[in-house]
Amino acid sequence: MKICCFGANSAIAKHIVYEYADSSPEVILVGRDQQKLDVEAQHLKARYSCKTQVFSCDFTNTEKTIEVCKTLKDIDVFIIAHGYLGSQDEAQNNHSELQKIIDVNYTSYAHLLEEVGRIVDMQQFGKTIVIGSVAGDRGRQSNYIYGSSKGAIELYVQGIQHRFAHNPKIHFLLAKPGFVDTPMTKDFPKGPLWAKPKAVAKLMVQGLNKNKRVVYTPKFWFLIMTLIKWCPFFVFKKTKL
């Protein structure tokens, strides 16, 4: 088995890779920080006897990202996991922060999804986990810039699922985590709605194995987001969400 992970230093992505690691797959780690990628590659080799390859690449550099993708072939599982939460408050006042949130969380995903689409089309097989977010389900005052990028990914993934619906060997899963305790959320106070990256990674792989198109991780977020999505605006506008 051959796995290619974009955003391989992400806590959730690492645990997705570990879900497959017992079968000692070949793993291609793609991310921004070469040193951290090398450490992870060493870990996968030493603990799980994986064969590894590392590419360092900032995914907002489209040319470099596409160059890396051109080297990929015979990939069984892709993971697209990088992300940038940024600051909603700052982005409302600073267009470069706004641009960065959209570039990392949407534009780079669109380019990667097209490259992954090209590769699976050529191979005629390949499964992909794309990490979205519950934040993409409804625009909310506290994070609509990040949230709208995640919402846009959902439409993109729907389109690519439609494009490959005729081929049962090609599948795209959109995973929508709720609150997960990772470096991205290290400054947030934690509570009962929070999950660990290992638990959400497991649910994502289970969802992919069952050929689901969307999974909420943990599952209770489906209920929470259904209530939030369908809450009438005259009520919603009174909330601070």
Ligand X SMILES: NC(=O)c1ccc[n+]([C@@H]2O[C@H](COP(=O)([O-])OP(=O)(O)OC[C@H]3O[C@@H](n4cnc5c(N)ncnc54)[C@H](OP(=O)(O)O)[C@@H]3O)[C@@H](O)[C@H]2O)c1
Question: Strand order of the sheet with strand 51-56?
Answer: 51-56, 26-31, 2-6, 77-80, 126-131, 170-177, 214-217
Instruction: Please list every residue from 150 through 209 that binds ligand X, using CB under 6 A.
Output: 177, 179-180, 182-185
Shortest distance in whole angstroms from residue 232 CB to ligand X: 25
Among 3, 4, 5, 9, binds ligand X (CB under 6 A): 9
Say if CB 241 and CB 228 are below 8 A apart.
yes
d(CA 54, CA 146): 28
Shortest distance in whole angstroms from residue 179 CB to ligand X: 5
38 Cβ contact list (under 8 Å, min separation 6): 54
Q: What share of the chain is helix, strand, coil (3-state, %, to 5)?
A: 50, 15, 30
Shortest distance in whole angstroms from residue 25 CB to ligand X: 20
Q: Which is nearer to ligand X, 12 or 17 (CB)?
A: 12
Instruction: Please list every residue from 33 through 72 that binds ligand X, using CB under 6 A.
Output: 33, 36, 58-60
H or E element: which one contains 205?
Answer: helix 197-209
Q: Which is nearer to ligand X, 11 or 69 (CB)?
A: 11
Among 31, 86, 117, 151, binds ligand X (CB under 6 A): 31
Instruction: Please list every residue from 121 through 140 that binds ligand X, using CB under 6 A.
Output: 131, 133
Residue 2, strand partner residues: 26
Interface residues with ligand X (CB under 6 A) are: 7, 9-12, 31-33, 36, 58-60, 81-84, 104, 131, 133, 177, 179-180, 182-185
